[in-house]
Structure 1
Amino acid sequence: MPVLNRIAALAPEMAEWRRWLHRHPEIEFDLPKTSAYVAERLREIGVDELHEGIAKTGIVALIEGQGTGPTIGLRADMDALPITERTGVAHGSTHEGMMHACGHDGHTAMLLGAAKYLTETRNFAGRVALIFQPAEEEGGGAEVMVREGLMERFGITQVYGIHNAPNVPFGHFLTTPGPLMAAVDTAYVTFRGRGGHGAIPQDCVDPIPAIASTVSALQSIVSRNIGAQDELVVSVTQIHAGSANNIIPEDGWFCATIRSFAPEIRDLAEARFREIVTGQAASFGLEAEIDYERGYPPTVNDAERAAFAAGVAREISGPDAVDETAPRLMGGEDFSYMLQERPGAFLFLGTGPGAGLHHPAYDFNDEAAPLGASFFARLVERALPLG
């Protein structure tokens, strides 16, 4: 694979950066050590401008090319997950209950590697904005950065990001034009009844049968309310009720995740969800409280930019290692907020066999970092050519 020679030489340094980040995971917007470490590396690298404190702990670093031109944004997320690590690696988490189980440490190392190459070579006409973002997993850090004027403040005209993909063949890139990842909505439902002794159910209004019935009824949204060619997931992921084996509880609650791509399907799913819950509650004589939260929008690639990025990926991994019409994924990604503001593309980079994302045994494959860094660097040189 034609990894750029200078970036190949940076592989040990990128692994060192990545493993430091892995040992010191932080979550959501509370990334003081992570942000300080990244800023220190960027100062050593010699970026032209360093802007800290965006979305609390986010960073934007600017690198000027050798001539005038537009500004390209390259994004890496920095936050970890509230998971207890079970990798057994020497560079394992030193923060109890937190770990980099999604590879954001690897994403950050890749973008730092690209930064070092681009500051040394400056083989492009224009400017690069390196975006180091907090709170991808929870909190919508990308939305906050956009709301704080990220695109306008730095004149970004297009934007790109990469996510690692364990158990996809090593070095393979996946993307697609249009929607790539789903919108993510969350619903919390509480049923309120009347509790009492488990031996006297006739004197109670039991929320548990209502929850059980509602969970089954919600599956009819996918099976009966949308077309077979449409895409929607409704999954109940938590149920909580009761405290003892002889007590009918006063109330109970459940939550669900709802994933979709098309706005009309998203609207239909919410409407039917509310109707089913309200109807089920009434049929059991209960009161229902519904907290329906619209989360990250779908991640939608600009078709032209996705094709361009796929072409760059072929330069790095070869023509047979890039799928630019990959299947859509029902997972969510807050890079979607950046793609709502500017054209660009999001891609997945295969890291080979290993534990899956968000698993306590997951660890980013350091051998993939030179591929990701080379992709970022070559993308800038192709999009902003000298002359």
Structure 2
Amino acid sequence: MRHNDPVAAVTPEVIAWRHEIHANPELGFREHETARFVAGQLRSFGLEVHEGIGGTGVVGVLRSGSGPRAIGLRAELDALPVTERTGLTYASKTDGVMHACGHDGHSAMLLGAAKLLSQSPDFDGTVYFLFQPAEENEGGSMRMIEDGLFRRFPVETVYAVHNWPGLAFGTIATRVGPQMAAVDNFELRFSGTGAHVAMPHLGDDPILAAGAFIGAVQRIVSRAVDPQVPLVVSLTQIHGGNVGNIVPGEVWLQGTCRFFDPALSDTCERLIGEIAEGIAAAHGVTSRLDYKRGYPPLINTAGAVAVAAQAAGAAVGSEQVSTAFSPSLGCEDFAYMIGAAGGAYAWIGAGAVGPGEGLHGDRYVFNDGIVPIVLRYWTSLVETALPKAPAA
């Protein structure tokens, strides 16, 4: 704790904001009260505020000096459909909804950065504080972009952070290139003719076709794609039949593909369809594939990563900054903002976790110890990206 340290002074308030948001979680595109809370705080700091962008998105605008340059800092507003089992005094008051990913912390910390920068604007240019709805599965950042986000608030780069359980506490990790994966989802139906189990010759058996598909689809990863290229193909649901002595007429499967190379989206769709059709033909049934392209890979741009790493080093020390690490096959819709404007995404190490305590777990607890780390990072980033001209 530094003497007369503004970050230390505001940290308890930021933690209190987080606890307030945590106790009142809202799902994607329904973050009405959270958005009102964020907008109210931004106005209390003297910022220009715009609401209702992309649904429930909020943008705060802070200008300093006369420079024309501008950057965006982003946080998420939404919670998850998870029943909380943390036992916290500030646990969710909404049944079946929980901030199980840390978006409450991300929003509170970005509010804290806005307050600090408004009190001591040691930069030249404009900072847009971007609070987006519906990061979890519904593409809220794309909705904001479609609603004119970067036309109304033009930026040269955008930045975001995410708390990262399992990464050494206090580490700030950002890398050039992919840091998070693309995700595509698919649904597949095998349809035939049901029959009594005592007379299977009178019908087809979609269950046999589905079983064959489950094994065969893994040839995409093991035989159709270079083994040095990351790819996951997983089946996550299978449903068929509801009576113990009837072979069903239809089986439904759901699955997902994750990868860093955008070209693999076309590859996966084509091969899944070909494998399903071949197996269906061999079993005398039909197949129908519904392949849905989801978030693209999150690919950090080199210039923004250089700025982020420099700012992180100034905030926490170079020994706490990592730029060489393996990316995650998790996904993140900040990919749309980086794709539109360029930028850098950083993980903030939250330390070790136990079972059920990681991201999206029902016993997940955001580590409030990272709050001052992120506040220092955000303020350092703004001052690094938008430096004042040296005195004559």
Please state which band the TM-score falls in when normalised by the shorter chain: over 0.9
Superposition TM-score, scaled by structure 2 size: 0.96
Give the secondary structure class of the aligned counterpart of 1:18. Answer: helix
Q: Within 5 A, what are the aligned runs for 1:80-95?
A: 80-95=79-94
Q: How far apart are the structure 2 equivalents of 1:7 and 1:66?
A: 23
Q: How far apart are the structure 2 equivalents of 1:373 and 1:3?
A: 16
Residue matched to 2:295: 296
Matched residue type, 2:213? T
Superposition TM-score, scaled by structure 1 size: 0.97
Does residue 231 in structure 1 map to residue 230 in structure 2?
A: yes
Residue matched to 2:21: 21
Q: How far apart are the structure 2 equivalents of 1:39 and 1:286?
A: 56
Does residue 364 in structure 1 map to residue 366 in structure 2?
A: yes
Q: How far apart are the structure 1 equivalents of 2:36 and 2:194?
A: 52
Q: Within 5 A, what are the aligned runs for 1:340-351?
A: 340-351=339-350
Q: 1:217 to 1:285 in 2, by over 3 A?
A: same
Contact 1:67 1:124 in 2 (8 A): no
Residue matched to 2:65: 66
Residue matched to 2:9: 9
Contact 2:182 2:262 in 1 (8 A): no
Q: 1:2 to 1:197 in 2, by over 3 A?
A: farther
Deviation at 1:366, TM superposition (A): 1.1
Q: How far apart are the structure 2 equivalents of 1:167 and 1:224?
A: 32
Q: How far apart are the structure 2 equivalents of 1:40 and 1:84?
A: 28
RMSD of aligned alpha carbons: 1.4
Contact 1:196 1:203 in 2 (8 A): yes
Give the secondary structure class of the aligned counterpart of 1:268. Answer: helix
Give the secondary structure class of the aligned counterpart of 1:10. Answer: helix
Residue matched to 2:40: 40
Deviation at 1:92, TM superposition (A): 0.6
Count the aligned residue pairs: 386
Contact 1:69 1:384 in 2 (8 A): no
Q: 1:260 to 1:370 in 2, by over 3 A?
A: same
Q: 1:193 to 1:2 in 2, by over 3 A?
A: farther
Contact 2:109 2:374 in 1 (8 A): yes
Q: Within 5 A, what are the aligned runs for 1:45-124?
A: 45-47=45-47, 49-124=48-123
Deviation at 1:121, TM superposition (A): 0.6
Q: How far apart are the structure 1 equivalents of 2:257 and 2:112?
A: 37
Deviation at 1:352, TM superposition (A): 1.4
Contact 2:296 2:336 in 1 (8 A): yes
Q: Within 5 A, what are the aligned runs for 1:175-186?
A: 175-186=174-185
Deviation at 1:198, TM superposition (A): 2.3
Q: Which runs of 5+ in 1 are unaligned?
A: none
Contact 2:265 2:293 in 1 (8 A): no
Which segment drifts farther, 62-71 or 87-96? 62-71
Which segment drifts farther, 261-270 or 359-368? 261-270
Contact 2:307 2:384 in 1 (8 A): no
**Runs (4+) of structure 1 moved beyond 4 Å?**
1-4
Q: How far apart are the structure 1 equivalents of 2:67 and 2:174?
A: 30
Contact 1:3 1:374 in 2 (8 A): no
Q: How far apart are the structure 1 equivalents of 2:76 and 2:194?
A: 46
- Percent of residue pairs bearing the same amino acid type: 44
Q: Which runs of 5+ in 2 are unaligned?
A: none
Q: How far apart are the structure 2 equivalents of 1:327 and 1:348?
A: 12
Deviation at 1:28, TM superposition (A): 1.2
Residue matched to 2:387: 385
